[in-house]
Amino acid sequence: MDEYSRFVDWDKMDVTAQSQDAKELTCTEFQELKQLARQGYWAKNHSLRAKVYHKLISNIPCRTVTPDANVYRDIVVKIVGKRSSSSLPLPEFVDNSLVPTYCLNAEGIGAVRKIILCIANQFPDISFCPALPSVIALLLHYSKDEAECFEQVCRILACNDPSKRLIDQTFLAFESSCMTFGDLVNKYCQAAHKLMVAVSEDVLEVYSDWQRWLFGELPMVYIARVFDVFLVEGYKVLYRVALALLKFFHKVRAGQPMESDSIQQDIRAFVRDIAKSVSPERLLEKAFAIRLFSRKEIQLLQMANEKALQQKGITVKQKRQNVHLAVHAENFKSEIVSVKEMRDIWSWIPERFALCQPLLLFTTLEHGCSLSRFYSHSEGHEPTLLLIKTTAKEVCGAFLSTDWTERRRGGNKLSFFGTGECFVFRLQPEVERYEWVIIKHPELAATGSESENHTSPASSTLSSGSVPSDPSDRLSPFLSARHFNLPSKTASMFMAGSSECIIIGGGDGQALYLDADLNHGRTSHCNTFNNQPLCSESFQISVLEVWGFRD
């Protein structure tokens, strides 16, 4: 056995981890390291993986004063004393997390608790870090002694590179990551998200488990492969793998009855037993096949979610508001949708807005069919939700991320604005949410007179997924430009409004047009996309409502 075997119970380890010939790692270029990590170059050799981990972690930029191995040796006896390792209480910031054994021997299991306590002593600013026990247990496999493991974990925690996020250490960071994961699921795992909404009373509660799936439930051989790539590529890898886990869960369990009374428990059980369904290589292959947003975009989305939580005063752990409770049955009344349907819509909107209550701003039944009154009641509110019921009993609508005041920037011309968080949907005759697209050539529909022509310009104005050539230079399609002091030209455009009409560029080739009298509307449907139209090509409006979001 090698010098990194002190804490390992080899009888429980995968034999392939100790049977490969020794290899060396000489490359230092990021792209080459990235490929080797994804391919598992050092995964089959215990000693090589330990050396690679040590090299990668030692290169993490850290605070000037970061505790090292000598600090651990100085404080461990004073902190632990003569108490048995198994009886050591864990600090509150690990939040009763699982302390995985990861094929550690008895000494290694005890060492996890000792190192956690010493880290708590040296990092008083950590207030919430449920992933810590798992990270320590994993790194003990690849450490010569407790002090070396302590130093490596400290370097990860003390990283001071603002562009390199590693482990959440506050409840605000953790909770916003759960909201961000929920947003990503809503975008990239719609079938799984639909299942979560159907079987769970609180979708965010399910998604708040996403780090536990990785750092707690995932078997040792899997989390080690994830950690290989994580140390090279950073936090985004965790989102990828968690999304892949959810996709596999839905694929394997689709159509089967739940094994317990809780979808959370079912997902945890699936992840624990993932070896029955998916290999580590297949899991990573699936994770990296997801065309995820850029790191910059995800960072902006995380910032927006943190800001929403701070505005709500949610910065420390407390009972989370149930998404279903966000639409209170006793306070909600719509002539278009039921409470259940509104809750379904709430499950589609970005997590930071799901913290709010719906507030009726405008209804044609009370305010009349006037576009000017529509604007006067809707302006000053962001975002808003548009609901339409036709005389044919069809129900459709749109989530609009931007204040209608923005339309004034175009003067008397039909002015386009909005962000990629806009989407259109249909509730009746069947439920469908349409993915966003970008209005590519707004100048083609730039005048009110053109909008009066009943031939739809959507085929020339709408383009699915059109993006700038360099996605790193554009704003996240989820976020409003002015929130981050970025040029307005970087914002995607989905909404248009003038005194003549309203146009909403929806998704998957769908677009919605409303005339000035709010009695008539029409849709365009690009046949390039294999989906049903939003509603009838030409329709009469029975009721139209606009809803805002109240804290």
> Which whole-number Å values give the CA distances from 237 to 88, 229, 231, 272, 291, in the listed order?
33, 7, 9, 19, 12
Phi-psi region of 485 (alpha: psi -120 to 50; beta: other; left: phi over 0): left
Say if residues 287 and 248 touch (Cβ distance below 8 Å). Answer: no
Q: What is the pTM of this model?
A: 0.74
The tens digit of pLDDT for each residue in 137-166 reads 999 999 999 999 999 999 999 999 887 889
3-class SS of residue 109:
helix
Instruction: Give 516's contacts (C-beta < 8 A, 6+ positions apart).
Output: 371, 499, 500, 501
Band (pLDDT 50/70/90 cuts) for residue 516 is: confident
Phi-psi region of 369 (alpha: psi -120 to 50; beta: other; left: phi over 0): beta
Write out the two tokens for 86.
């198994």
Q: How far apart are CA 214 and CA 134, in angstroms?
A: 9
Say if residues 446 and 461 touch (Cβ distance below 8 Å). Answer: no
Q: Which of 111-115, 431-435, 523-527 has the lowest mean pLDDT?
A: 523-527
pLDDT higher than 80, residue 10:
yes
Residues above pLDDT 90, as percent of the chain: 44
Say if residues 324 and 343 touch (Cβ distance below 8 Å). Answer: yes
Q: How far apart are CA 374 and CA 511, in angstroms?
A: 19
Q: Are strands 538-550 and 384-390 parallel, antiparallel or unpaired?
A: antiparallel
Nearest residue to 121 (alpha-carbon basis) of 63, 171, 60, 78: 78
3-class SS of residue 544:
strand
pLDDT value, residue 493: 63
Write out the two tokens for 293.
């947003």
Mean pLDDT across 185-207:
87
Task: Name the fold adopted by 170-319.
Answer: Cyclin A; domain 1 (1.10.472)
Residue-range domain boundaries for the chain: 1-169, 170-319, 322-441+490-550
Mean pLDDT across 295-324:
73
Cβ-count burial of 306 within 10 angstroms (0-12 exposed, 13-18 middle, 19+ buried)? buried
The more confident residue out of 441 and 177 is 177
Write out the two tokens for 378.
């809707």
pLDDT value, residue 491: 42
Q: Which of 245-249, 315-319, 393-397, 413-417 has the lowest mean pLDDT?
A: 315-319
Nearest residue to 461 (alpha-carbon basis) of 432, 487, 439: 439
pLDDT higher than 50, residue 14:
yes
Q: Which of 77-91, 112-126, 240-254, 325-339 has the lowest mean pLDDT?
A: 325-339
Q: How far apart are CA 234 and CA 488, in angstroms?
A: 30
pLDDT value, residue 141: 94
pLDDT value, residue 50: 93
Say if residues 41 and 228 touch (Cβ distance below 8 Å). Answer: no
3-class SS of residue 503:
strand
pLDDT value, residue 365: 94
**Radius of gyration of the chain measured on its C-alpha atoms:** 26
pLDDT value, residue 219: 94
Residues above pLDDT 70, as percent of the chain: 82
DSSP letters along 425-494, please? EEEESS-EEE---EE--GGGG-SHHHHTSSS--HHHHEETT---S-GGGS--TTS-GGGGT--GGGS---
Band (pLDDT 50/70/90 cuts) for residue 29 is: confident
pLDDT value, residue 116: 95
DSSP letters along 6-37, please? TTB-GGGS-GGGGSSPP-------HHHHHHHH
Q: Helix (H) and strand (E) counts for the chain?
A: 20, 13
Write out the two tokens for 362.
């405008």
Q: How far apart are CA 110 and CA 337, in angstroms?
A: 56
Band (pLDDT 50/70/90 cuts) for residue 531 is: low
pLDDT higher than 60, residue 236:
yes
Say if residues 53 and 152 touch (Cβ distance below 8 Å). Answer: yes
Mean pLDDT across 360-375:
93
pLDDT higher than 70, residue 455:
no
Band (pLDDT 50/70/90 cuts) for residue 471 is: very low
pLDDT value, residue 174: 93
pLDDT value, residue 468: 34
Neighbours of 96 (CB within 10 A): 8
The tens digit of pLDDT for each residue in 66-93 reads 999 999 999 999 998 888 877 788 898 8
Mean pLDDT across 192-202:
85
Four-point Cα dihedral 472, 473, 476, 481, nearest 10: 160
pLDDT value, residue 436: 55
Say if residues 337 and 387 touch (Cβ distance below 8 Å). Answer: yes
Q: How far apart are CA 85 and CA 87, in angstroms?
A: 5
Maximum Cα interatomic distance, the chain, rounded to a whole number of Å = 85
pLDDT value, residue 443: 36
